[in-house]
Amino acid sequence: MATTPEPSDHQAAWQAGWWQSAQQLPSPNFGPRPPGAEIDLVVIHSISLPPGQYGTGAVQQLFTNQLDWDAHPYYQSIRGLEVSSHFFITRQGVIWQFVSCDDRAWHAGVSQWRGRDRCNDDSIGIELEGLEGLHFDAPQYRALQQLCEAIAAQYPVHYIAGHEHIAPGRKQDPGPGFDWHRLQRQLGGAASTRAWELPSPAV
């Protein structure tokens, strides 16, 4: 009797661009990628709301257009902002997903990398809970490594850059507190099957 073949591990881990190991909270802030877009870039950001405060739930609220603009004075400066990222990693290493990786999240803005403009078109955005210039915690690096490896099993990603690299002068995150050397070492382990290209601080 014929049997249906089992899907590969990485295929089972993804459904329509959603990574099944992440906490899923769909955002309305997304759109289609342009025809022929090659998803080959991961962009790393940092965010905390209010700035420097962690675990408030406000980042999740922002990405789903649920933030109470009157809850903190800082929110008046971003009032009405409609943004998203594909993923958000908390200080404890919990991974949230807001937009299918098959779709275009609104995280990069005006940007350029590897000779291309409009990095939203062909990138996957990952926000780390933190403040630019400050350090990030070990669980976040472990979760980031796991997530990048999972993405690489599903998409032809090759490049990793910070928001500061694709929008220099306009953005400064994740900033000097992010350890690019550490991420390079983690992704370059013996089990790695992907030749990653990271910004110059990591090489």
Q: Is residue 1 part of a domain?
A: no
Our answer to whether residue 127 is catalytic in this structure is yes
Specify the number of domains making up the chain. Answer: 1
Q: Is residue 185 part of a domain?
A: yes
Q: Is residue 14 part of a domain?
A: no
> pLDDT digits over 108-130, tens only?
999 999 999 999 999 999 999 99
Q: Is residue 181 part of a domain?
A: yes
pLDDT of residue 191: 56
In this structure, what token pair is assigned to residue 172? 């400064």
- Rounded to 5°, angle at Cα 133 from 132 and 138: 85
pLDDT of residue 150: 96
Look-up of token digits 């675990």: 55
Q: Is residue 3 part of a domain?
A: no
Residue 184 CB partners (closer than 8 Å, separation 6+): 196, 198, 202, 203
Of these residues, 6, 38, 82, 127, which one is catalytic?
127
The residues pairing with 123 across neighbouring beta strands, listed in sequence order, are 41
> pLDDT digits over 131-177, tens only?
999 999 999 999 999 999 999 999 999 999 999 999 999 999 999 99
Q: Is residue 129 part of a domain?
A: yes
For the entire predicted model, the pTM comes to 0.92
Evaluated on CA atoms 140, 146, 150, 152, the torsion sign reads positive
> pLDDT digits over 15-30, tens only?
999 999 999 999 999 9
Closest to 39 (Cα-Cα) out of 114, 127, 142: 114
Q: Is residue 125 part of a domain?
A: yes
Q: Is residue 10 part of a domain?
A: no
> pLDDT digits over 71-104, tens only?
999 999 999 999 999 999 999 999 999 999 999 9
Q: Indicate which CATH number applies to the domain containing 149.
A: 3.40.80.10
Range of the domain at 144: 19-28+36-202
pLDDT of residue 193: 61
